[in-house]
């Protein structure tokens, strides 16, 4: 089991550019979560999916953020246009619906300059 | 609504001494509770979880936590700290759809 796989590990981009973060959940897991971690705000849940359907996106900061899960093995989080305040570590996590707790990926460290 | 409060933002102990990281929870129903650890520049790793079975839960690396409903607490302990335990620790409570609500974290420093 390769775990939850996120790419890229690090991303540095200029303000105004589009950024796409990618996540491959553990095979057989049907819930997927995107979190953002900053020093100021800690861990924030952005959006989560169940069986590829977005359940709650109330944590998405604004319309510049969007997330998709086209199939059970892939999800993206897109920021367009990016701003310096989006700089953070973005984590993806997955779980089985009948299992408590979930497995995190290693995160993507995003720096917007 | 579910929430957790980690009572200490920083804890400092000497190697070989006990560790206590405190967590209080609020939940409108019988909760599932978790402790995760995050080492620098790493993702979060599950230490242990409570899911309405035994109230004393044993996890990895010698950590354990006790669920106390009367005190709405789920404190994390370890009898003897090791240098490798230095990390940030997060308490979490379950919401719907397996959603986890995390506390602000406690940074544990271990001194020689």
Q: What confidence tens digit (pLDDT) does each residue in B11-56 have?
A: 999 999 999 999 999 988 888 999 999 998 888 999 999 987 788 9
Q: Which of B41, B43, B99 sits opposite A91 (nearest CB)?
A: B43
pLDDT of residue A62: 86
Q: Is the pLDDT assigned to residue A100 strictly greater than 90?
A: no
pLDDT in tens, B76-92: 999 999 999 999 999 99
Mean pLDDT, to the nearest integer, of A27-46? 93
Least confident of A63-67, A75-79, B25-29, B95-99: B95-99
Q: Is A108 on the interface with B (CB under 8 A)?
A: no
Candidates A102, A106, A109: best to mutate against B (most CBs of B within 10 A) is A102
**Predicted local confidence at residue A1, as pLDDT:** 64
pLDDT value of position A92: 97
Determine the Cα–Cα distance for residues A111 and A108; give it in Å rounded to an integer.
10
Predicted pLDDT at A97: 74
Question: Which is it for strands A103-104 and A10-13: parallel, antiparallel or unpaired?
Answer: unpaired
- B28 or A105: whose pLDDT is higher? A105
Q: Compare CB distances from A48 to B41, B46, B99 and report the shortest one's residue.
A: B99
Read off φ and ψ for residue A73, nearest 5 degrees: -115, 15
What's the rounded mean pLDDT across residues A29-41? Answer: 93
Bigger pLDDT: B41 vs A18: A18
Tell me what percent of the residues of chain B surpass a pLDDT of 70. 99
Nearest CA in chain A to B97: A97
Judging by DSSP bridges, how do beta strands B10-14 and B106-111 pair with one another?
A: parallel
Residue A86 phi, psi dihedral angles, 5° rounding = -85, -5
Residue A112 has, within 13 A of its CA and on its CB side, a CA count of: 17
A19 to A5, A33, A65, A83, A105: CA distances (angstroms): 17, 18, 10, 10, 18
């Amino acid at each position: 089991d390769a775990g939850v796989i996120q790419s890229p590990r690090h991303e540095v981009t200029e303000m105004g550019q589009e950024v796409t973060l990618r996540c491959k959940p553990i095979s057989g897991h049907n819930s997927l979560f995107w979190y953002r971690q900053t020093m100021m705000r800690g861990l924030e849940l952005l959006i989560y999916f169940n069986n590829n359907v977005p359940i709650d996106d109330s944590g998405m900061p604004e319309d510049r953020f969007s997330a998709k899960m086209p199939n059970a093995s892939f999800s993206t989080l897109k920021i367009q246009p990016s701003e310096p305040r989006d700089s953070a570590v973005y984590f993806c996590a997955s779980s089985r619906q009948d299992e408590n707790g979930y497995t995190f990926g290693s995160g993507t460290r995003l720096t917007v300059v | 609504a579910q929430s957790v409060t980690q009572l200490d933002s920083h804890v400092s102990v000497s190697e070989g001494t006990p560790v206590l990281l405190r967590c209080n929870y609020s939940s409108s129903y019988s909760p599932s509770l978790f402790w995760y650890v995050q080492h620098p520049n790493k993702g979060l790793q599950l230490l242990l979880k409570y899911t309405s079975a035994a109230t004393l839960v044993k996890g990895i690396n010698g950590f354990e936590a006790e669920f106390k409903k009367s005190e709405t607490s789920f404190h994390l302990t370890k009898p003897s700290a090791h240098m490798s335990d230095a990390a940030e620790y997060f308490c979490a409570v379950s919401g719907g759809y397996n959603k986890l609500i995390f506390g602000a974290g406690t940074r544990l420093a271990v001194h020689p």
